[in-house]
Structure 1
């Protein structure tokens, strides 16, 4: 488990970085003299490059040892975060965030696949949940502390913190991670061929819709809380979202191992996620009550990844890394699409108060799709 823990630290850095930026957008907007919609694209470019560029670089690194790829990916991610902290203008920040997204996108699916290969089949769900839990811990611990640090050191100081954690994990993996022999990953043609499998396509389609709703909505959480509830202190609500993420991601692995029915678990997750998002506008009329839907949103959003990865690993045992990479691609592509659509919608005149309803509709479509998958399996 020591090696899984090293991967978890790296995922902590990724989670810290990916989710603290949403809370830093008001400060970034003020520093760089940009509006909220433009600032939201800082998140979009990170997630878009994660989704689209990572498969290309994974193919270029075909045949390299797992440890080399992990170190390279996390090193690029850490350096790019340092560059983000040094950004003096919006274009430079976008470029730095794009490079960070490439590093994160290469590390995350490789870390998940490596964790699954380091344990027995019976413990695979827990290993996946543990690694994904590292990312959620980055939100529950890193994000609130990062926002506190930003008040003292500016948003740049928070990104420097991400850089330091990333380098710490990089050095640990470089020194302690075993020399695991790497299978040559499938070519881009093989990856696209895998997507012609209707079952695989259905799974990653559900992941895409879930991410558009959950992660896309999270990008504008500051605007939503301010407009719906007049809330300017984000930290307690981000704690609730992050704690939910930790509970969801760490508990789901055990549930998968005990039930062996990830598809049914995913349907339940989507139903609760939809409930949390749809009730958020009403709960924010009573700020204390709002913690519950935000907790459910975080818990179910994070819990949704492990069942999808488990289902793909089970259906594509010969292409485990590619299967996990496809799911991660769909997850981050969904985040990029969601944050971009949210920005476009607000420019077009849609109020932040309406974003939860739009996100809830995406979850509803995902739930209907998941029920169809279950019916086809029975």
Structure 2
């Protein structure tokens, strides 16, 4: 598991970098003499580069050494962050965020596949949980610390911190990461076929809807708490920590639970139900929303452990597993961007902030319904495939 911890460090850096920029927008805007809204486009650029690069590069470079691609993608990500720290203008800043987003998108998809490949038999869920735990810890623990560092020493110091973590993870992988067998070359038709695969598309769709509901609503947690519980915007830090701690716990617990039970579909059902319950109860609890926030964070981050396991199983032996993972990672970031954009439009249009959790609950419920309708079918497909394999003497 030591090598997987190195993959986890890279994932932690990704989680920190992806979300810390939102907290640095005012400082960046002041430093570069631009508006907060224009500076905020660096988050959009990073997100789009992440979402588009993951499936494209993972598909085009299937058959290439995963070890080489992991090191190269983390190197591109680290270079992008160094350029961000040195950016003299908003134009350079936006370009550097695109570079970082490309590296992050490719690394994220490859890291989950590599963690599963390196794990001992029966420990794949735990390995996936470590990588997802790194992402959630980077968001929950790293972001507040990064914002704190920026407040004392400037936003560029925070970006150098992210760059330094990337260099450490890069050096560790270059020295300690063993050779990982490359998946077979995936034909162009198969790569695009994953987009319409009746087994893959519903899984990715559930991830997208969950991201809209969870990560999208998280963007507006401060105004939601202010409208439902009278929590001042300067007093939201304990609530953010509650969400983040829940996220880390959910990521860590989901893996061993999945390894012990082997029931990925059932675990997704439970997690999605937890997300619906948490977000639905948020407006009712007001300032006492800590239990809902812990459950919300745990559900949102735990979901991807069984989701990734299901996608890897669907591509077993065909070389499409990494492509499916990349699509899923893209869905997460596109869902986050869509949720944030829709929430912003709603608030700009005069919709009260207290109604956003109800809207997010509806989206999460839609994801649960989609999973229930398609999960049973995919389970029957998997059992049929297993029966056929057994009939041909395959274990």
Q: Same fold judged by TM-score > 0.5? A: yes
Partners in 2 of 1:281 and 1:93 — Cα distance? 38
CA contact (8 A) 1:46 1:100 kept: yes
> 2:10: which partner in 1?
10
Rounded to whole Å, the distance in 1 between the matches of 2:187 and 2:242 is: 41
**CA 368–359 in structure 1, closer or farther in 2 if over 3 Å, else same:** same
Find the aligned partners of 1:156 and 1:226 in 2 and give their Cα distance.
31
* TM-aligned CA deviation for residue 62 of structure 1: 4.0
Structure 2 counterpart of 1:247: 249
Instruction: Give the whole-Å Cα distance in 1 for the aligned partners of 2:346 and 2:12.
Output: 31
CA distance in 1, matches of 2:16, 2:246: 15
Residues 54 and 329 in structure 2, CA contact (< 8 A), matched pair in contact too? no
User: 2-side partners of 1:257 and 1:275: how far apart?
Assistant: 25
What is the aligned partner in structure 2 of residue 314 from structure 1? Answer: 313
Quote the Cα distance in structure 2 between the aligned partners of 1:58 and 1:304: 22
State how many pairs are aligned. 374
User: 1:174 aligned to 2:174?
Assistant: yes
1:302 lines up with 2:301 in the alignment:
yes
Q: How does 1:27-38 map to 2 (within 5 A)?
A: 27-28=27-28, 31=31, 33-35=34-36
Partners of 1:363 and 1:46 in 2: CA distance: 25
Equivalent position to 1:283, from 285, 292, 313: 285
TM-score in terms of structure 2 length: 0.87
Question: Is the 8 Å Cα contact of residues 78 and 163 (structure 2) preserved in structure 1?
Answer: yes
| Cα drift, residue 351 of structure 1 | 4.4
Q: Deviations over 1:308-361 (max 9, x none)?
A: 111112222123222222221221221222223233333434344433222222
1:117 deviates by 0.5
Query: Where do 5+ consecutive residues of structure 2 fail to align?
Result: 381-395
Equivalent residues of 2:54, 2:109 under 8 A apart: no
Secondary structure at 2:284's aligned position in 1?
A: helix
Where does structure 1 lack aligned partners over 5 or more consecutive residues? none
Q: How many Å apart are 1:209 and its aligned residue?
A: 0.6
Aligned to 2:214: 214
TM-score normalized by structure 1?
0.91
- Contact 1:216–1:336 (CA<8 Å) still a contact in 2? yes
Whole-angstrom distance in 1 between the partners of 2:351 and 2:95: 28
In the other structure, the counterpart of 1:236 is: 238
Superposition CA RMSD, Å: 2.3
Contact 2:85 2:160 in 1 (8 A): yes
For residues 128 and 166 of structure 2, the distance between their equivalents in structure 1, rounded to whole angstroms, comes to: 20
Quick check: which has more Rg, 1 or 2? 2
